[in-house]
């Protein structure tokens, strides 16, 4: 689906969601108010409107954060249902949190009805959204006329795919080879309605079509170039400008404004955690100092965003000369690239427990505040490990490293190194603020129980 049309459809989906969530809220309120229960349920108008606004904004923020509107026209029904259930659960949770801080005593049955009505209405619409969008656009949309330019079999095939796969009323007004385009396109655009020209040509043919691009520019006709000759498997493509120079940009890691929100959340979470945990951190530091000689904090060079080196902090959990003893116990290592030994003999008595419950990682909250790390992201590697990475594994360096990560909640130390790397790639490819929140929340019980740690 073309980007401009996708934005219009996305806006329509947002407005539909707002209407359906409002209906669900109204139905939930009426259902609970009409129930003959011991306690009467009633909200004054100002509270009713405030709660409705919180409900709508919560559902919308969750959907946008999860990029839910981007795949409604292509996702299968299981993915749509999962995302809708997750949205309704988190939306209801937001309403509960608002109720707690506002000190309102809402009915539990109202919250249950809100969840159920929202799930039913949104689920039914989204499961049929693709069909509804297609019917609406084909019946009421204005035909969109395109000209395909390129080798005839390939260009004609791409045009057929656009007509068949798009919900819009696309009409192929002509299929021209590169040679025909230079001589016939000007007459074609003057004789027919042409909204867009799509070039499906090889990279070495683009320079020869400079006059054609200029013609389309002067005529005000939108042009597109199929870029499948670029071998970017994982990258998202955007067009940027540096001064007056246009730049075609390929990015295989997140690089949008959501990262600003992620950084803001990291600062708040790290600052609050350090304040709340400060007495606990002092107790751990004192225990380390009393039970083994050496510094309280262990410092090590690690690789951060895009391979930048930074000083990494941990509570010391091993003997003072642990790095010097490493070659002598290297044969015990169970990983192919990373250095991990179960029941490492260098661990101090208290260090074993610090490792099991990840308490040794708490000083990394200072790394998060400094910007070296994030709360959630691939774990930071030591430079010697990065030197042995395969090329595909280096892409994990394109995301700021984190305190916890996807593989930390799916097996932790019991997973092999390649599985770690693949899960880091999965995290990068599917990253969202909602995924970060999910990983952070699921990490808490793993840390408290020591699950998966050697």
Cβ-contact 72, 129 below 8 angstroms: yes
Predicted confidence at residue 31, as pLDDT, reads 92
Integer distance in angstroms from the first to the last C-alpha of the chain?
A: 48
Give the Cα separation of 401 and 412 in Å (integer).
16
Q: Which residues contact 181 (CB under 8 A, 6 or more apart)?
A: 149, 209, 212
Query: Would you list the domain boundaries of the chain?
Result: 3-133, 142-229, 258-449
Per-residue pLDDT, 259: 87
Tens of pLDDT along 97-141?
A: 988 888 887 788 889 999 999 999 999 988 887 777 777 666 656
Helix (H, G, I), strand (E, B), or coil: what is residue 10?
helix
CB within 8 Å of 226: residues ≥ 6 apart = 150, 158, 198, 199, 200, 201
Residues 6 or more apart whose CB falls under 8 angstroms from that of 37 comprise 109
The b/e string for 24-42 (b: 16+ C-beta within 10 A; e otherwise) is bbebbbebbeeeeeeeeee
At 258 the pLDDT is 83
Q: What is the pLDDT of residue 112?
A: 92
Average pLDDT in the chain? 84
Residue 8, pLDDT score: 67
Residue 4: what pLDDT?
55
> Look-up: residue for tokens 């006709």?
221
| pLDDT score recorded for residue 451 | 65
CA atoms of 396 and 302, how far apart (whole Å): 14
pLDDT in tens, 270-299: 999 999 999 999 999 999 999 989 899 999
Q: pLDDT-derived band of residue 453, with 50, 70 and 90 as boundaries?
A: low
Q: Determine the pLDDT at residue 80.
A: 84
Helix (H) or strand (E) holding 210: helix 210-219
The pLDDT tens digits for 165-175 are 666 778 899 99
Judge: domain 142-229, CATH 3.30.160.
Answer: no
């Amino acid at each position: 689906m073309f980007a401009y049309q996708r934005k219009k459809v996305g806006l329509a989906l947002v407005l539909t969601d707002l209407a359906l969530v409002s209906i669900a809220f109204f139905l939930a309120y009426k259902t609970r108010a009409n129930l003959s229960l011991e306690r009467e349920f009633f909200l004054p108008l100002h509270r009713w409107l405030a709660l409705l606004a919180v409900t709508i904004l919560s559902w919308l923020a969750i959907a946008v954060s999860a990029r839910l509107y981007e795949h409604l026209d292509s996702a299968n029904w299981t993915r749509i249902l999962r995302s809708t259930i997750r949205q309704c659960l988190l939306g209801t949770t937001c309403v509960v949190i608002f109720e707690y801080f506002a000190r309102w005593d809402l009915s539990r049955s109202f919250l249950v009805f809100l969840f159920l009505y929202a799930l039913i209405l949104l689920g039914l619409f989204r499961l049929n959204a693709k069909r509804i969008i297609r019917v609406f656009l084909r019946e009421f949309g204005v035909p969109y006329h395109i000209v395909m330019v390129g080798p005839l079999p390939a260009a004609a095939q791409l045009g057929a795919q656009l007509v068949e796969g798009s919900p819009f009323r696309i009409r192929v007004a002509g299929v021209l080879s590169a040679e025909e385009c230079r001589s016939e396109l000007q007459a074609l655009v003057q004789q027919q309605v042409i909204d867009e020209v799509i070039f499906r040509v090889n990279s070495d043919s683009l320079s020869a079509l400079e006059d054609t691009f200029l013609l389309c520019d002067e005529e005000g006709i939108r042009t597109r170039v199929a870029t499948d000759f670029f071998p970017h498997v994982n990258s998202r493509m955007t067009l940027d400008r540096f001064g007056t120079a246009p730049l075609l940009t390929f990015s295989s890691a997140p690089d949008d404004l959501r990262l600003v929100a992620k950084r803001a959340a990291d600062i708040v979470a790290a600052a609050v955690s350090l304040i709340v945990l400060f007495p606990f951190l002092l107790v751990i530091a004192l225990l380390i100092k009393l039970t083994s000689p050496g510094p309280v904090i262990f410092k090590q060079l690690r690789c951060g965003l895009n391979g930048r080196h930074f000083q990494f902090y941990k509570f010391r959990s091993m003997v003072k000369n642990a790095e010097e003893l490493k070659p002598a116990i290297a044969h015990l290592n169970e990983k192919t690239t990373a250095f991990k030994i179960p029941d490492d003999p260098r661990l101090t008595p208290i260090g074993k427990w610090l490792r099991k419950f990840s308490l040794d990682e708490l000083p990394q909250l200072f790394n998060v505040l400094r910007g070296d790390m994030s709360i959630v992201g691939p774990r930071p590697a030591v430079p010697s490990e990065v030197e042995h990475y395969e090329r595909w594994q280096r892409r994990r360096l394109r995301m700021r490293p984190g305190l916890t990560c996807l593989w930390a909640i799916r097996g932790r130390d019991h997973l092999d190194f390649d599985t770690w790397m693949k899960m880091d790639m999965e995290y990068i490819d599917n990253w969202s603020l909602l995924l970060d929140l999910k990983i952070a929340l699921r990490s808490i019980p793993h840390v408290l129980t020591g699950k998966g740690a050697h």
